[in-house]
Amino acid sequence: MSTLEVKDLHVSIDGKNILKGVNLKMQTGEIHAIMGPNGTGKSTLSEAIMGHPAYKVTKGEVLLNGENILELPVDERARAGLFLAMQYPAEIPGVTNAEFIRGAINARLPEDKPLSVRNFLKRLDKTMGVLDMTDEMADRYLNEGFSGGEKKRNEILQLMMIKPKFAILDEIDSGLDIDALKVVSRGVNQMRGPEFGSLIITHYQRLLNYIVPDVVHVMMGGRIVKQGGPELAKRLEDEGYAGLRDELGLDIKLVDEEA
């Protein structure tokens, strides 16, 4: 079993404070969801955990199995077991999807014992099958010209091939049609088990019908303001964020609110 703990995390970007003390603890075997209004810092939290250079941690810690990882470069965090399915994955022309994924897997293996091409292709083929992806996607350049939905599927493909300990999925459901939503959920559910934990950022309760979370966190104004079970997501779906905010007596302006 592994643990991931975020302690009093403060993060700023371009000098602007976005996260103002986030606390969160999870372990493998669990699925956590984060919901929260636009611009509240959900992606900031995930990028800061992964180690995007633009996000500056000004205070706090991120502990993986009790070790602070904030000093580690991005690639070492990844090899330590973290994975981030990004809200906006980059496009890399000239590098094929398959070549990239194989490189990522081999980066975790001893240099003299890489995964053989044949075994890799076998696994890739099978996993792409689970995600209803066509073979052709393996030979295309990484995310280049992929539709929004294809990019999301491709993030899950990487997740399933790399098998991290903890995966943060940032709006993996946005831009997915109904069938694709089921397919992607199937992929994530297949990963579920005692050695895998996931933090799922979403705006829509619907995803959580397919991937049922153990814990739901609500984030507002750069903090986690409430935690609960799956029913909390249903309540938000019905009532929106304003009700919860007023109930908690928070002084936060929501993006869509009239001044």
Partner 1 sequence: MTVDLKKYPTIAAYAEKTAEPAWFTELRTKSLEKAASLALPSFEKIRYQRWPIQLKQPLERKNSSKELIEEIKPEQTENMVVQLGQDTLELKVSNELRSQGVIVCDWHTALQEHSDLVKKYFMQKAVKINEDLLTAQHVAHLTSGLFIYIPKNVVLKKALTSYFVQDATAKNDYVHHVIIVAGENSEFSYLENLKTVGEQATTANIIVEVIAQENSHVKFASVDRLGAKTTTYLNRRGYLEKNAKIDWSMGMMNDGNIVGDFDSDLVGAGSHSEVKIVAISTGKQIQGIDTRVTNIGKHTIGHILQHGVILSRSSLVFNGIGHILKGAKGADAQQESRVLMLSNKAKGDANPILLIDDNDVTAGHAASIGRVNQEQLYYLMSRGLPKKMAERLVIIGFLGPVLAAIPSKLIREQLKITIERKLIDGQKDE
The residues of the shown chain that bind partner 1, judged by CB under 8 A, are: 50-53, 73-75, 78-79, 83-84, 86, 89-95, 100-101, 103-104, 107-108, 141, 158, 162
Between 124 and 220, name the residue whose CB sits nearer to ligand ATP: 220
Between 14 and 71, name the residue whose CB sits nearer to ligand ATP: 14
Residue with structure tokens 């292709």? 121
CA distance 172 to 152: 6
Site string for ligand ATP, 69-108 (x = CB under 6 A): ------------------x---------------------
Would you report the helix, strand and coil content of the chain in percent, each value rounded to 5? 40, 30, 35
CA distance 192 to 174: 21
The reply on whether position 240 binds ligand ATP by CB under 6 A is no
The reply on whether position 43 binds Mg ion by CB under 5 A is yes
Q: How many CA atoms lie within 13 A of 204 on its CB side?
A: 12
Pairing of strands 223-228, 92-96: unpaired
Between 78 and 201, name the residue whose CB sits nearer to Mg ion: 201
User: Strand, coil or helix: what is 107?
Assistant: coil
Selected binder of ligand ATP within 44, 154, 158, 202 (CB under 6 A): 44
The reply on whether position 43 binds ligand ATP by CB under 6 A is yes
Least separation in angstroms between CB 108 and ligand ATP: 28
User: Is the distance from CB of 221 to CB of 196 less than 8 angstroms?
Assistant: no
Which range of residues in 37-45, 64-72, 148-156, 207-215 is near ligand ATP by CB under 6 A? 37-45
Which range of residues in 22-30, 39-47, 89-97, 140-148 is near ligand ATP by CB under 6 A? 39-47
**Other CB atoms within 10 A of residue 201 CB:** 25
Cα–Cα nearest to 217, from 201, 194, 238, 240: 201
**Other CB atoms within 10 A of residue 152 CB:** 26
Least separation in angstroms between CB 63 and partner 1: 19
Residue 86 site contact among Mg ion, partner 1, ligand ATP, none (CB < 5 to 8 Å, cut-off depends on kind): partner 1
Q: Which helix or strand (DSSP H or E) is residue 138 part of?
A: helix 136-139
Q: Footprint of ligand ATP on this chain (CB under 6 A)?
A: 13-14, 18, 36, 38-44, 54, 87
